[in-house]
Amino acid sequence: MNISSEYSLWLLVPCILLGLLYAGILYWRNRHDEFTERLRWILFTLRTVTVTFIAFLLLGPLVHSDQYTDVKPSIVVAVDGSSSIGKVLSQNDQQQLLNDIRQIETALSNDFDIHFYTFGTEIISALPDSFSMPLTNMESLFDHIDIQHSNTHLGSVVLVSDGINNTGIDPLFASNHLTVPAVTLLVGDTIPHIDLALSKVTVNSKAFKNNQFPIRVFISGYMAGGQQTILRLKKDDRVLEEIKLSIRNDRYSTTHIFYPTADSVGLHRYTIELDAIDQESNRDNNRQNVVVEVLERQQKALLVAHAPHPDLAAIKEILESSIAFEVETAMASTPQLSPDKYDVVILHQLPSLTYPMESLLQKCSETRTPVLFVIGQSTNISRFNQLRTGLTIEQQNNLTEDATPAFNHAFRSFQTDAVVAEDCSQWTPLTVPFGAYKLSNAASVLMFQKIGNITMEYPLIAFNNTINGRYGFIAGEGLWRWRLNTAKRLGNSRPINDLILKTIQFLASDEKNQRFRVYCENQFASFDRIVYKAELYNEMFEPITTENVQLVIRDEAGLEYDYLFGIDGDNYKLDAGSFPAGSYRWEATTKVDQQNFTERGHFIVSATNIENEQLCANVTLMKKLAENHQGQFFFWEPKSEQVIQYLKDNISTKRIRYTTTGYYELIKLPWLLLVIVLLLTLEWFFRKFNGSY
């Protein structure tokens, strides 16, 4: 323990002199009290120490101390809580498995800190109550371990699973950042059984009225050679087509494509099913549902540019990759551009000094055609500020700077791919105008600008509704670099494509200048939660949350579910929970200034049981995980202690000592007050005992 102060400790000498002076004046200069020489020296000493101590405390001395903590190594035990295990293991075996896992803590708790996790659709910091989760996501498990234990004394990870992973990236890749031994304990059935399965069904999520669209079906069979089955396509329990299949061998696979016709606009559910074969134990993978949204027509986008630029090719490629969009490109020099036949107009670095685009912008305002501005070095900022779009930029000397995106988690207008929010901080910067940005209060920001390490309040991607029209803004150029960057790091540019496509879809939607908007996806799996978001505006298109927003969901039988939206920032949000498979319609209503507003829609919930599509444990994956991380692979056997013995023999029990350094103000320690009071009390007692005051 050391003592320090912001003042020089040499000031302790004046403190001592002050104590001596004070006590000397009190006991040697004034000898009115008849004290003995010995008592006078005692009282003198007590008063000197007290005054010196008080004076020293006024210097604000600090006590520096180190505290040492010994930390045991930790072991993470992650248990797969998915239903593929619950379907294979009996209730007694499930309970025995959990008892065996608890023995790890009982046997090793003296040397290790044991952390239990259940993984599947979510990560829970406990052992599973039951094996019923509808998905297995090992990627989220390894990410969670990395976040929670990367800077801790982690000794090993024990993974208890059947190795069946059906969402997220490849576990072998997802576990690359794991730096400790991985012990894998395989649970489940490793013996293949007679099985016929719809291994994969692919279909475009959108089609157009009166057009045929493909539904591609991949079929696999195991140990079913010589048998026959029927493959059937149904719509709303009506059989559209069926074919007979002959299974030629025990390792059978084939592909068939159906071409149904989209006969009406809206959401349509199609069912693909296989008749079960003799002795087939798992029939859950013989049936799959797909949902297709049939549109009246494609939406049209007009992309107008000041000059050729790599961003144009990137935007065009993204739009053309979506069946919902038809895109046309033009240079600003093209005469008589008109927005009449387009659902959205994209202006790249326009208006510019050369091309003010007055006629096109005026027609967009008259026809209420949404406009997306991609601002760049050629944009005439002064002319742009005169458009009254809700965004103005006070650019300084035509300077630019680099800005990386910072995702706004409060954005509620639409949902982006989850990777966008997690990964955007690593995207290459856009070139943006250097200056001050002013955005209308009614506007919503999807991404802010991050300059260096500071997230500014300036928008990078934003949207605004005005009386003159609906506008979107991308306040920088260089979108093509985003695609190259993500493709290099992640292997694809899907997050960027999703972001740009949904940005343009949002602008091109039919919700132009609506004061009440409700957002909800139209396709869900039976384990998904139905989440609604709503926006409500006053006559000046400023967001308000002062009114109640009600929602009614009706199923196919007419049963109604009533809800009330909650407030979420400047908007509304509602989590309606999960719904059984079926078709549902909803109606949201509110009232503002004696005016009623209503929004309607529908969604389809598909019965999905991905976990039961494959029940044979993946031995190869579990062995490879252990091998890649210098661990060991085991088959689970009831009441076996092989994992415990391996951990005892191979994982170091050496503890790490952490030092915690602290500084404490001496004057704030309560026991010092007691010392001062004790000194003064002793002095008073001696004086009083000898007849003085």
Contact 619, 190 (CB under 8 A): yes
Contact 421, 372 (CB under 8 A): no
Q: Which amino acid is at 323?
A: I
What does the block give as tokens for 487? 């493709």
Q: How confident is the model at residue 33 (pLDDT cuts 50, 70, 90)?
A: low
Helix (H, G, I), strand (E, B) or coil at 584: strand
Residue 511, pLDDT > 60, answer: no
How far is C-alpha 182 from the geometric centre of its chain's CA atoms?
A: 26
Rg (CA), the chain: 36
What does the block give as tokens for 88? 């294979």
Strand partners, 187: none
Residue 479, pLDDT > 90, answer: yes
* CA atoms in the 13 A half-sphere facing the CB of 382: 4
pLDDT tens sequence across 136-193: 889 999 999 998 998 888 999 999 999 888 888 889 988 988 999 999 999 987 777 7
Stated as kind and residue range, the H or E segment containing 63 is strand 62-71
The residue ranges of DSSP E strands in 466-594, in sequence order, are: 470-474, 516-519, 523-525, 531-536, 549-554, 560-564, 566-568, 571-575, 582-592
Residue 611: predicted pLDDT? 64
Overall average pLDDT of the 52-80 stretch: 84
Overall average pLDDT of the 464-483 stretch: 89
Fold of 299-508: Rossmann fold (3.40.50)
What does the block give as tokens for 225? 């050679």
Write down the H helix ranges in 6-114. Answer: 12-24, 37-57, 83-88, 91-108
Residue 308: predicted pLDDT? 92
Closest CA to 268 of 230, 240, 299: 240
Contact 288, 271 (CB under 8 A): yes
What does the block give as tokens for 126? 């406990």
Interatomic CA distance for residues 82 and 125, integer angstroms: 15
| Angle, alpha carbons 637-640-644 (nearest 5°) | 125
Q: Which amino acid is at 655?
A: R
Interatomic CA distance for residues 568 and 534, integer angstroms: 9
Q: How confident is the model at residue 31 (pLDDT cuts 50, 70, 90)?
A: low
pLDDT tens sequence across 308-348: 999 999 999 999 888 778 899 999 988 888 888 898 999 99
Interatomic CA distance for residues 505 and 446, integer angstroms: 14
Contact 302, 330 (CB under 8 A): yes
Residue 512, pLDDT > 60, answer: no
What pTM does this model have? Answer: 0.58
Interatomic CA distance for residues 421 and 407, integer angstroms: 6
For 482, 500, 621, the CA distances from 485, given in Å and listed in that order, are 5, 15, 30
In this predicted model, which residue has the larger pLDDT, 6 or 126?
126
Overall average pLDDT of the 73-77 stretch: 94
Residue 691, pLDDT > 70, answer: no
Closest CA to 325 of 315, 333, 334, 335: 315
Cis peptide before 351 (omega within 30 of 0): yes
Mean confidence (pLDDT) of the chain: 86
* CA atoms in the 13 A half-sphere facing the CB of 214: 7
Closest CA to 138 of 155, 123, 116, 156: 123
Residue 268: CB partners within 8 Å, gap ≥ 6? Answer: 235, 236, 262, 291, 292, 293, 294
Overall average pLDDT of the 47-65 stretch: 81
Find tokens 């409700």 and name the residue: 518
How far separated are the first and last CA of the chain, in Å rounded? 40
Interatomic CA distance for residues 480 and 475, integer angstroms: 14
Most confidently predicted of 291-295, 493-497, 548-552:
548-552
- What is the CATH number that goes with domain 516-606? 2.60.40.1930
Closest CA to 127 of 153, 104, 110: 104
Residue 613: predicted pLDDT? 65
Closest CA to 603 of 588, 573, 581, 571: 581
Phi (first) and psi of residue 15, to 5 degrees = -65, -40
Fold of 195-295: Immunoglobulin-like (2.60.40)
Find tokens 């934003």 and name the residue: 462
Interatomic CA distance for residues 46 and 20, integer angstroms: 10
pLDDT tens sequence across 356-400: 999 999 999 888 899 999 999 999 999 999 998 999 999 988 899
pLDDT tens sequence across 593-647: 888 999 988 888 877 767 666 777 889 999 999 999 999 999 999 888 999 999 9
Interatomic CA distance for residues 160 and 282, integer angstroms: 23
Q: Which amino acid is at 249?
A: N
Find tokens 């079929």 and name the residue: 219
Residue 513: predicted pLDDT? 52
Q: How confident is the model at residue 408 (pLDDT cuts 50, 70, 90)?
A: very high
Query: Options 3.30.1490.20, 3.20.20.70, 3.10.20.90, 3.40.50.410; which CATH number does 73-191+616-650 get?
Result: 3.40.50.410
Stated as kind and residue range, the H or E segment containing 678 is helix 670-689
Interatomic CA distance for residues 276 and 195, integer angstroms: 9
In this predicted model, which residue has the larger pLDDT, 55 or 27?
55
User: HEC states along 172-239?
Assistant: HHHCCCCCCCEEEEECCECCCCCEEEEEEEEECCEEECCCECCEEEEEEEECCCCCEEEEEEEECCEE
Helix (H, G, I), strand (E, B) or coil at 247: coil
Interatomic CA distance for residues 552 and 587, integer angstroms: 5
pLDDT tens sequence across 226-273: 888 899 999 878 899 999 988 888 888 889 999 998 888 888 888 898
Residue 99, pLDDT > 90, answer: yes
Phi (first) and psi of residue 187, to 5 degrees = -120, 140
The least confident of 68-77, 122-131, 539-548 is 539-548
In this predicted model, which residue has the larger pLDDT, 104 or 676?
104
Domains 195-295 and 516-606 share a fold: yes
DSSP letter (8 states) at residue 17: H
- Sequence ranges of the domains in the chain: 2-67+662-689, 73-191+616-650, 195-295, 299-508, 516-606
